[in-house]
């Protein structure tokens, strides 16, 4: 008897298991399948992402359904269209030898009438996203009044996405007498609320620690200045030439921007967020699955459905607001027993968030430093050498060898090696040569650097900034205010004390938005020119909003003094990071992969 047989599965399902190549059940399958097969019970099962939860409920569900009866008997709710489709496909494979079982997927972004037609033909199992399900119920296109089984899959993600009300409404259309099975990777408060409200003394199965992330994931953080997020991201990518990653940003806007910049800089990147059409999202996901995209920049919501194996790195370009969200992000890597790395780019002011996450996931972060330019060159060099060493020889080369040997005549082995690796190395060297250290140092040393670099990001009060555009660029105080507000996506009164000079200007905001201002204006270009914003070294011109009507004179002078020297420094710094290569990245002039038009 195989281990799957021992769980009580019938022959047709065991045959499907064999076809799927599953040799032995995972822990969550081993524990849940017998319970679900045995009797009618509510169940809460918690197990990390990638532990095989689908089969844990899918096999029992199919076995328990009456395949001769065409009414809908099982409803599975799933957070996203992608997961919904994936579940449906998976269930169809499980039911391969149960020909009369129909599984239908219901999700947004596709024809509702087509879906209704499929349901009407007789779907014993409906897999749905909450939004579309509610829609179909309201329009009377589906009847879930007779279901025996309701499954809430990836419950934490559904609730995270704000589906609580929808789930409540949907459940109110189901019969009281049914079994509810809830599957989730984590058990946040909201999930226990659902369990309490809608389930009757459910059996509980917990694999591993309730709220911990996958233990195969290593968590690392990198402390940088607020405006250095993007260069830091590039260095992390350059340090990991074989990276296959999801990069999380907080807003659709940042997601799009970071992806565009990466593509412009020659990386194989793509954006995934809610402002893209379904078609565009499918394209991006397909390229990602095929690994044509190495860096997928995504919002949390859009990334929910991603179930791609082998993701080597999750990069938190910005930390999420909710700690719970971090667990979901990092759970994208380290799947199916493989190891993965979750990297967080943070500013000093966010370090307390790292502590909070550590407490939640019960795992320590490793603090790491962003590699220096020369370290990256070294890594790239070894990577290249190994790549050459491991390259399989294409025998067709043989025919051309005499001619090629002629070309290399008189060059000895050592020199030839030097030349070969220089082809790639010089590109990185020219780019990274003389770039500065991006890491923010600790304590004492930091104070010195603060004076030198114009300071870290202030965290409270009102902040005065310098910006390198002014009247010469056609701005007056009103248009500059509008420009900053629109670019950073701020509220009407968030930008104040705008003071436009000839070729530069000053303005204020509350410290709460300083991060956003600085990160927005990192490597930010208008009409091909860098628009640079820095915190004004001398905050004298600032003051709170309450003091807005104070006399200006003395402030202006101190602003100008404080800023002109900084401005020079600012621009020379920029020059270092850019100029030597004559482009924006080591890949300039040499695209690594797909062109951007493919994805935008
Ligand atoms: P979860 O819902 O827990 O995140 P899934 O159900 O999506 O995980 O399963 C993750 C992967 O593991 C899928 O590719 C699935 O086919 C595979 N899998 C599930 N059960 C087994 C098993 N017993 N043996 C081998 N692979 C399995
Ligand atoms: Mg799942």
Domain range list for the chain = 4-206, 217-372+592-599, 381-432, 444-547
Please tell me the total number of residues recorded for the chain in this structure. 600
For a pocket test of ligand 1, which of 21, 46, 55, 59 has the largest count of ligand atoms closer than 8 A to its C-beta? 55
Q: Which residue has the higher pLDDT, 285 or 360?
A: 285
pLDDT digits (tens, 9 = 90+) for 408-433: 999 999 999 988 888 878 888 888 88
Given a cut of 90, whether residue 295 has pLDDT beyond it is: yes
Residue 573 has what pLDDT? Answer: 37
Atom of ligand 1 nearest to the CA of 86: 7
Ligand 1 pocket test target in 23, 25, 54 with most atoms within 8 Å of CB: 54
Q: For ligand 1, is residue 79 a contact (CB within 6 Å)?
A: no
Pocket test for ligand 1, best of 24, 32, 52 (most atoms within 8 A of CB): 52
Higher pLDDT, 247 or 538: 247
CA-28 nearest atom, ligand 1: 3
- Supply the CATH classification number for the domain 444-547: 3.30.70.330
283 Cβ contact list (under 8 Å, min separation 6)? 598, 599
- Mean pLDDT across 366-395: 86
CA separation for the pair 316, 246 (Å, rounded): 9
| Spatial CB neighbours of 220, under 8 Å, sequence gap ≥ 6 | 341, 342, 343, 344, 365, 366, 367, 368
What's the pTM value of the predicted model, to 2 decimals? 0.49
Closest ligand 1 atom to residue 4 Cα is 23
Q: Select from 444, 443, 498 the least CA-distant residue to 476.
A: 498
User: Which pLDDT score, from 0 to 100, does residue 555 have?
Assistant: 33
pLDDT in tens, 464-510: 888 988 888 888 888 899 999 988 888 888 899 888 887 788 899 99
Q: Name the residue with the closest Cα to ligand 1, atom 26.
A: 22
Q: Whose CA is nearest to atom 15 of ligand 1?
A: 52
Q: Which residues contact 303 (CB under 8 A, 6 or more apart)?
A: 246, 248, 272, 296, 329, 332
User: Stretch 309-331: mean pLDDT, rounded?
Assistant: 89
For residue 591, what pLDDT band results from cuts at 50, 70 and 90? very low
Where is mean pLDDT largest: 23-32, 385-394, 445-454? 23-32
Give the Cα-Cα-Cα angle 377, 378, 383 (nearest 5 degrees): 100
Greater pLDDT, 362 or 482: 482
Domain 4-206 and domain 444-547, same fold? Reply is no
Residue ID of nearest Cα to ligand 1 atom 17 = 52
Would the pLDDT of 445 be above 80? no
Structure-model confidence comparison of residues 16 and 437, the more confident one: 16
Do the Cβ atoms of 64 and 149 come closer than 8 Å?
A: yes
State if residue 26 touches ligand 1 by the CB under 6 angstroms criterion.
yes
- Which residue's CA is the closest to the ligand 1 atom numbered 23? 25
pLDDT band at 213 (very low <50, low <70, confident <90, very high): very low
Sequence-ordered list of residues with C-beta below 8 angstroms from that of 77, at least 6 positions apart, any chain: 128, 129, 130, 133, 150, 151, 152, 153, 158, 163, 167, 170
Ligand 1 center to 424 CA (angstroms)? 40
Contact 599, 262 (CB under 8 A): no
Instruction: Identify the band that residue 584 occupies on the pLDDT scale cut at 50, 70 and 90.
Output: low
What is the predicted pLDDT for the residue at 291? 93
Greatest mean pLDDT range, 260-274, 448-462, 569-583: 260-274
Q: Tell me which of 251-265, 471-485, 490-504, 582-596 is least confident.
A: 582-596
Question: Model confidence at 251, in pLDDT bands (50, 70, 90)?
Answer: very high
Please tell me which residue, 442 or 228, carries the higher pLDDT value. 228
Per the prediction, the chain carries an average pLDDT of 83
**Predicted pLDDT at 504:** 83
Residue 552's pLDDT is what?
A: 34
Q: Which two tokens stand for residue 319?
A: 């930390």
Note whether 59 and 158 are within 8 A (CB).
Answer: no
The answer, yes or no, to whether any atom of ligand 1 lies below 6 A from the CB of 336, is yes
The tokens of 416 are what?
A: 């030839």
Orientation of helix 229-239 relative to helix 373-390, angle to 10°:
30
User: What was the pLDDT predicted at 589?
Assistant: 45
Q: Is 54 in the pocket of ligand 1 (CB under 6 A)?
A: yes
In this structure, the residue with its CA closest to atom 16 of ligand 1 is 52
Instruction: Write out the DSSP string of 163-188.
Output: -HHHHHHHHTTS-SSSEEEEEES---
Q: What is the mean pLDDT of residues 133-139?
A: 95
pLDDT of 113 over the 90 cut = yes
- At CB < 8 A and 24+ separation, what contacts does 284-290 make? 284/599, 285/82, 287/594, 287/598, 287/599
Contact 527, 483 (CB under 8 A): no
With 60 as the cut, is the pLDDT of residue 178 above it? yes
* pLDDT of the residue at 599: 31
Ligand 1 proximity of 32 Cβ (cutoff 6 Å): no
pLDDT at residue 577 greater than cutoff 70: no
Residues 362-377 have a mean pLDDT of: 86
- In the predicted model, what is the mean pLDDT of residues 155-169? 86
How large is the average pLDDT for residues 41-56?
A: 92
Residue whose Cα lies nearest atom 25 of ligand 1: it is 22
Which range, of 85-94, 322-331, 386-395, 559-568, averages the lowest pLDDT? 559-568
Distance 32 CA to ligand 1 centre (A): 14
Domain at 4-206, CATH homologous superfamily? P-loop containing nucleotide triphosphate hydrolases (3.40.50.300)
Mean pLDDT of 47-53: 87
More confident residue, 500 or 313: 313
pLDDT at res. 147: 97
Least confident of 6-15, 158-167, 548-557: 548-557
Does the beta carbon of 55 lie inside 6 Å of ligand 1? yes
pLDDT of residue 524: 82
In this model, does residue 386 exceed pLDDT 90? no
Give the best-scoring range by mean pLDDT among 131-145, 214-228, 469-483, 494-508.
131-145
Give dist(CA 133, CA 168) in Å, integer. Answer: 12
Which percentage of the chain shows pLDDT scores above 70?
84
> Ligand 1 atom 2: the closest Cα is on which residue?
53
Task: Burial-class residue 190 by CB neighbours within 10 Å (0-12, 13-18, 19+).
Answer: middle
**Tell me, what's the pLDDT at 241?**
87
Fold for domain 217-372+592-599? Rossmann fold (3.40.50)
Q: What is the pLDDT of residue 458?
A: 67
The token pair that represents 518 in the structure block: 């600085």
Of the listed ligands, the closest to the CA of 94 is 1
């Amino acid at each position: 008897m195989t281990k799957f047989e021992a769980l009580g599965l019938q022959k047709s399902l065991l045959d499907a298991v064999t076809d799927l190549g599953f040799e032995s059940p995972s822990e969550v399958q081993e524990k849940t399948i017998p319970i679900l097969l045995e009797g009618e019970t509510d169940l809460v099962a918690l197990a990390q992402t990638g532990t095989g939860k689908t089969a844990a409920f899918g096999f029992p569900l199919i076995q328990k359904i009456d395949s001769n009866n065409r009414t809908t008997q099982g409803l599975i709710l799933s957070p996203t269209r992608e997961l919904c489709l994936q579940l449906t496909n998976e269930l169809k494979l499980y039911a391969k030898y149960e020909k009369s079982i129909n599984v239908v997927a219901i999700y947004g972004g596709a024809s509702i009438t087509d879906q209704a037609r499929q349901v009407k033909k007789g779907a014993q199992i409906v897999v749905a996203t909450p939004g579309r399900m509610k829609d179909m119920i309201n329009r009377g296109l589906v009847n879930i009044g007779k279901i025996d089984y309701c499954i809430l899959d990836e419950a934490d993600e559904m609730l995270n996405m704000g589906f609580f009300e929808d789930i409540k409404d949907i459940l109110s259309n189901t019969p009281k007498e049914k079994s509810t099975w809830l599957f989730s990777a984590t058990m946040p408060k909201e999930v226990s609320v659902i369990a309490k409200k809608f389930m009757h003394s459910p059996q509980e199965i917990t694999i591993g620690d309730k709220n911990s992330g996958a233990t195969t994931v290593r968590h690392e953080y990198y402390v940088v200045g607020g405006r250095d997020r993007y260069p830091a991201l590039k260095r992390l990518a350059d340090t990991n030439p074989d990276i296959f990653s999801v990069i999380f940003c907080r807003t659709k806007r940042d997601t799009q921007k970071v992806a565009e910049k990466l593509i412009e800089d020659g990386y194989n990147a793509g954006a995934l967020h809610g402002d893209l059409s379904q078609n565009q999202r499918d394209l991006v996901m397909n390229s990602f699955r095929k690994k044509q995209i190495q860096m997928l920049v995504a919002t949390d919501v859009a990334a929910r459905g991603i179930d791609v194996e082998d993701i080597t790195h999750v990069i938190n370009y910005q930390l999420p607001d909710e700690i719970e969200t971090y667990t979901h992000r990092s759970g994208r890597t380290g799947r199916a027993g493989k190891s993965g790395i979750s990297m967080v780019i943070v500013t000093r002011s966010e370090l307390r968030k790292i502590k909070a996450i550590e407490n939640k996931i019960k795992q320590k972060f490793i603090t790491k430093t962003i590699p220096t330019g020369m370290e990256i060159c070294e890594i790239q060099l070894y990577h290249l050498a190994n790549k050459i060493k491991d390259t399989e020889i294409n025998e067709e080369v043989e025919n051309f060898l005499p001619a090629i040997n002629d070309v290399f005549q008189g060059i000895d082995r050592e020199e030839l090696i030097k030349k070969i690796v220089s082809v790639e190395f010089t590109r990185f060297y020219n780019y990274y040569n003389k770039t500065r250290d991006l890491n923010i140092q600790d304590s004492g040393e930091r104070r010195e650097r603060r004076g030198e670099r114009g300071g870290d990001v202030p965290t409270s009060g009102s902040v005065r900034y310098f910006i390198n555009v002014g009247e010469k660029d056609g701005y007056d105080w009103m248009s500059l205010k509008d420009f900053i507000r629109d670019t950073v996506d701020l509220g009407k009164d968030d930008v104040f004390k705008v003071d436009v000079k000839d070729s530069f200007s000053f303005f204020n905001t509350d410290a709460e938005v300083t991060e956003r201002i600085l990160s927005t204006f990192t490597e930010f270009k208008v009409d091909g020119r860098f628009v640079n914003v820095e915190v004004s070294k001398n905050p004298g011109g600032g003051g709170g909003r309450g003091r807005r009507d104070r006399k200006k004179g003395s402030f202006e002078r101190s602003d100008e003094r404080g800023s002109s020297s900084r401005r020079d420094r600012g621009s020379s710094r920029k020059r270092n990071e850019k100029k030597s290569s004559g482009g924006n990245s080591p890949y300039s002039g040499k695209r690594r992969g797909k062109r951007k038009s493919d994805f935008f």
